[in-house]
Amino acid sequence: MGDPTGSPPRRTEPSDITAAAVASFSGCRDERLRVLLERLTAHLHAFAAEVGLTQDEWEAGIRLLTETGHITDEHRQEFVLWSDTLGLSMLVDALASPSPDATESTVLGPFYAPGAPRRHYGEAIAEEAAGAPAWVHGVVTDTAGAPIAGAELDVWQNGDNRLYAVQDPGAPEKHLRGRFSTRGNGSYAFLAVRPVPYTIPDDGPVGGMLAAAGRHPWRPAHIHLILRADGYAPLTTHIFDRESAYLDSDAVFAVKPSLLRDFLPRAADDPGRPENVDGPWFSVRNDLVLAPASA
């Protein structure tokens, strides 16, 4: 409609577009969804305005997201890699931390596969040679120090070829994965291999970003754990090798000092040698603390 006074219509300002986009969600009946959409839109518009986003840069961003979708499949989650390498995964994890008295959590990572085989106390998770044996053991307790029996540890790791089983088409499906239960006194043990540093997949859009930004794609050596027990908040965490490279520059910002562990060398004739180990090996003590689900 024209202005009856004959004055030229007011020009649309960038702030008008932002206001209209945010207001478009006012009818959303899900209160939490409405807040998420409104704030996401407001911050996205604020970013574009702050940096003076150009048309060419916007188009490059759309191409990047398209490439991310194309490269993502059941074995590779490039969107998770974006979240990890931008620190968002660790930020969300920190915001959800259940208790300051529990073991610190860290990222799930893109190589977790549900349905790992159930294994017995002390059993090896490697289905074939994959590195130096590492006896991982400890006790699971609550925040008051009481042992938790029947807790499930879901573990997975890479081998000395720097690959997880889901990345290696030649590896057995059960390789370097397993689920273990704690005993009556809260103790657990399994035979892993000493992990090695590896690169996150860097042949796609995320790798291109890292290279352009002068960042490396390396992660320090670690073993993954998900700990679950009835009545307790689940815990996703890592065991980091204290002697590993890249501890101070993890590509996904997941290293926490409290999660560093010592891989202690043991001789072949050490009296504590596990039955399923031949030759030199390592031992790793890794006690874990769960917070109550109410936390």
Q: What is the pLDDT of residue 233?
A: 94
Q: How many residues are present in the chain?
A: 295
Q: Are strands 288-290 and 198-199 parallel, antiparallel or unpaired?
A: unpaired
**Triad 65, 69, 73: Cα angle to 5°:** 155
- Evaluate whether 197 touches 219 at the Cβ level (below 8 Å): yes
82-290 adopts what CATH topology? Answer: Protocatechuate 3,4-Dioxygenase, subunit A (2.60.130)
**Triad 210, 214, 215: Cα angle to 5°:** 50
Query: pTM of the full predicted structure?
Result: 0.88
- The CA distance from 194 to 126, in Å, is 11
Q: What is the pLDDT of residue 167?
A: 87
- The CA distance from 121 to 118, in Å, is 10
Rg (CA), the chain: 24
Main-chain phi, psi angles of 278, to 5 degrees: -120, 135
- The label of the residue with tokens 């370097």 reads 176
Packing angle between helix 78-85 and helix 55-71, nearest 10 degrees?
130
Kindly list the domain boundaries of the chain, sorted by start residue: 11-53, 82-290
The pLDDT tens digits along the chain (295 residues) read: 556 667 788 899 999 999 999 999 999 999 999 999 999 999 999 999 999 999 999 999 999 999 999 999 887 889 999 999 999 999 999 998 768 899 999 999 888 989 999 999 999 999 999 899 999 999 999 999 999 999 999 999 999 999 999 888 889 989 999 999 999 999 999 999 999 999 999 999 999 999 999 999 999 999 999 999 999 999 999 999 999 999 999 999 999 999 999 999 999 999 889 888 989 999 999 999 999 998 5
Identify the DSSP state of 124.
Answer: B
Among residues 68, 74, 89, the alpha carbon closest in space to that of 207 is found at 68
3-class DSSP assignment, residue 81: helix
